[in-house]
C-alpha cells in the first residue's frame, strides 16, 4: 500500500483533538504509516474561547523582544512620545504572556493596534530618529528602519498565524 501525505482542514475540530472524530481517525492513519497534518481552528466551540496553545507562547516572547528593541531605539533618538506608545504595547504583550492561556482575541487586538502605527500617513512609518547627514545618523536610522521592518513582518505573520497546525 502506498503511503500518503494527508491534510485535514477542519474548522469545527479543536486543537489537540478535543472533538475526537478527526483526531482519532488521523491517529489511526498515522499508525498505518501515513503522514497526517491537521489544520484546525484555535477556537474552542464548547467554551467559546479562542486561544494559542502553550507551546506558541514563543510568538509573544518574540514580540516582546522586538518591542524592547524598538523602545530602546526610540529613547536613543529622544522620541519619548512614540517610546511611551510602544512601552504601553510592551506592557500589554507582557501581561498577555503571563497568563496561563493566551486568548486569541486579546492577542489579535494588540497586534492590530500595533499595526495601526504603520498606516499610511502615520508618523511612525515615516520616522527619522536621528536627523543630520552624518554617517552615524544614517547608520542609526538604517538600524531603526530595520527594526520597524522586522516588527511589521512579525505582526503580519502573527495575523496570518491564528490557526494551529498539528502534525
| Tens of pLDDT, residues 18-71 | 556 777 788 888 889 888 877 666 666 666 665 566 566 778 889 999 999 999
What is the tally of structural domains in the chain? 2
pLDDT at 162: 60
How far apart are alpha carbons 2 and 11 in whole angstroms? 28
pLDDT tens figures, 133-160:
899 999 999 999 999 999 999 998 888 7
In a shared domain, residues 94 and 148? yes
In a shared domain, residues 31 and 66? no
In a shared domain, residues 80 and 148? yes
Position 16 in a domain: yes
Position 101 in a domain: yes
In a shared domain, residues 37 and 57? no
In a shared domain, residues 10 and 73? no
How far apart are alpha carbons 36 and 127 in whole angstroms? 47
Band of residue 167 on the pLDDT scale cut at 50, 70, 90? very low
Position 47 in a domain: no
In a shared domain, residues 98 and 125? yes
Threshold 0.75, pTM exceeds: no
In a shared domain, residues 111 and 156? yes
In a shared domain, residues 60 and 140? yes
Q: Domain of residue 20: give its range.
A: 5-41
pLDDT at 152: 93
Position 25 in a domain: yes
Of the candidates 78, 94, 93, the residue with the CA atom closest to the CA atom of residue 158: 93
CATH assignment of the domain containing 151: 1.20.120
Amino acid at each position: 500500500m502506498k503511503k500518503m501525505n494527508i491534510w485535514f482542514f477542519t474548522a469545527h475540530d479543536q486543537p489537540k483533538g478535543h472533538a475526537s472524530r478527526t483526531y482519532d481517525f488521523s491517529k489511526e492513519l498515522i499508525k498505518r504509516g501515513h503522514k497526517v497534518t491537521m489544520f484546525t481552528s484555535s477556537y474552542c466551540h464548547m467554551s467559546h474561547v479562542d486561544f494559542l496553545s502553550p507551546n506558541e507562547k514563543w510568538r509573544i516572547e518574540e514580540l516582546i523582544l522586538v518591542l524592547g528593541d524598538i523602545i530602546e531605539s526610540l529613547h536613543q533618538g529622544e522620541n519619548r512620545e512614540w517610546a511611551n506608545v510602544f512601552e504601553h504595547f510592551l506592557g500589554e504583550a507582557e501581561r498577555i504572556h503571563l497568563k496561563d492561556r493566551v486568548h486569541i482575541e486579546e492577542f489579535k487586538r494588540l497586534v492590530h493596534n500595533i499595526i495601526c502605527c504603520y498606516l499610511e500617513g502615520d508618523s511612525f512609518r515615516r520616522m527619522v530618529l536621528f536627523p543630520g547627514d552624518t554617517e552615524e545618523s544614517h547608520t542609526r536610522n538604517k538600524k531603526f528602519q530595520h527594526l520597524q521592518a522586522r516588527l511589521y513582518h512579525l505582526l503580519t505573520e502573527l495575523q496570518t498565524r491564528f490557526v494551529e497546525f498539528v502534525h
